[in-house]
Amino acid sequence: MNIILVSSHLVKAKALTFTRRHFVLLFGALFLVVVLMVLGLNYLSLRYVDKIDSPSLRSFVMSVQQEDYEKNQQYMRDNLNAMAIKMGQMQAQLLRLDSVGERLAELSGIEPQEFLFNQMPGQGGALSTLPLQDISFGEFDDKVQHLSRTIDDRMSKLETLDSLIRQDRLKKKMQPSLMPVNVKWYSSSFGARIDPFTGKKAYHDGVDFVAEFGAPIIAAAGGVVVYSDLHPEYGNMIAVDHGNNLVSRYAHASKRLVKLGQVVMQGEKIAEVGNTGRSTGPHLHFEVRHKGLPQNPLRFLKKSD
């Protein structure tokens, strides 16, 4: 762009040439001047607002300040409300963590006083020698978000662990590991022995526990009663299916207390010791079979120790 200057004081006309670069610099300078003026006026209005004599100008400045103040207040309220909602969610998550923690402690056999879930852990220490700094709102929000993600992660892991422990305990309860009678010794072991009736070598499919007549017989594990009847050799016999192809048998009872198809729990009384069937005296013949094959019951009963 060319500008020609003509004056009576000039011998000849002068031409000024403006390029795009000159225009950019000119507009940049004008913009900087405007910004500096706005900042200056803002400073002066804040610094000397109490000395302004003009009521209209004072009212204008005060309205601008009031508007900025209300905007800041609204921003703070919105952020505080969001933080309050987040804190409420975290408190609910912590309550769930405490509940899962107490349940895990109970399942693991840990004494309750070792983990006080209803109390804040103690903290302390010497005053830091480094300069103390106030935490900014942004830093505080970042820490809250990080803590929330950490709580979610721990909750997921604890709930998985809780499920695994419960499954393991359920699996153990479904194995015939509880002593079927309250005695300390047995009269005849599993395997080869001398038959008490024939005097010849024979194979014994279970373990005989000597007990008083009428002593309670309990289910070594939970399951479903698949046999409850009088057997020609076992006398009054009960068989309980524990799942996983495991069945326990209780023979020579004087009285049967459960029926076919009944669900029994581990430790539930199912019969009373007797001398029925092929028996030389009051005792309990106890068997454990896996897929129909006899197993040594002591292998299972020792797991309760």
Indicate if the alpha-carbon torsion angle 41, 43, 48, 49 is positive or negative: positive
For the question of whether the overall pTM of this predicted structure is more than 0.85, the answer is no
Would 129 be classed as within a structural domain?
Answer: no
Q: The domain that contains 298 carries what CATH number?
A: 2.70.70.10
Residue 179 within any structural domain of the chain: no
Which two three-digit tokens encode residue 45?
């209005």
Q: Are residues 230 and 149 in the same domain?
A: no
Verify that 229 and 142 share a domain, yes or no. no
126 in a structural domain: no
Burial letters for 26-60: b for 16+ Cβ neighbours within 10 Å, e otherwise? Answer: eeeeeeeeeeeeeeeeeeebeeeeeebeeeeeeee
| pLDDT tens per residue across span 110-134 | 665 555 556 666 667 777 677 766 6
Digit-coded pLDDT (tens) for 50-87: 555 556 655 655 666 667 777 777 777 777 677 767 77
Does 296 fall in a domain?
Answer: yes
Same domain for 95 and 46: no
Structure confidence by residue, pLDDT tens digits, 153-202 = 777 777 777 776 776 666 666 788 899 999 877 788 888 888 888 888 88
195 lies in the same domain as 294: yes
- Residues 151, 213, single domain; the answer is no
Q: Number of folded domains in the chain?
A: 3
CB 209 within 8 A of CB 284: yes
Q: Let me know if residue 132 belongs to a domain.
A: no
Q: What is each CA distance from 171 to 6, 33, 176, 286, in whole angstroms?
A: 107, 81, 10, 21
Joined tokens for residue 279: 């028996």
* Domain encompassing residue 69: 2-74
* Helix pair angle (55-108, 137-173), 10° resolution: 20
On whether residue 178 sits in a domain, the answer given is: no
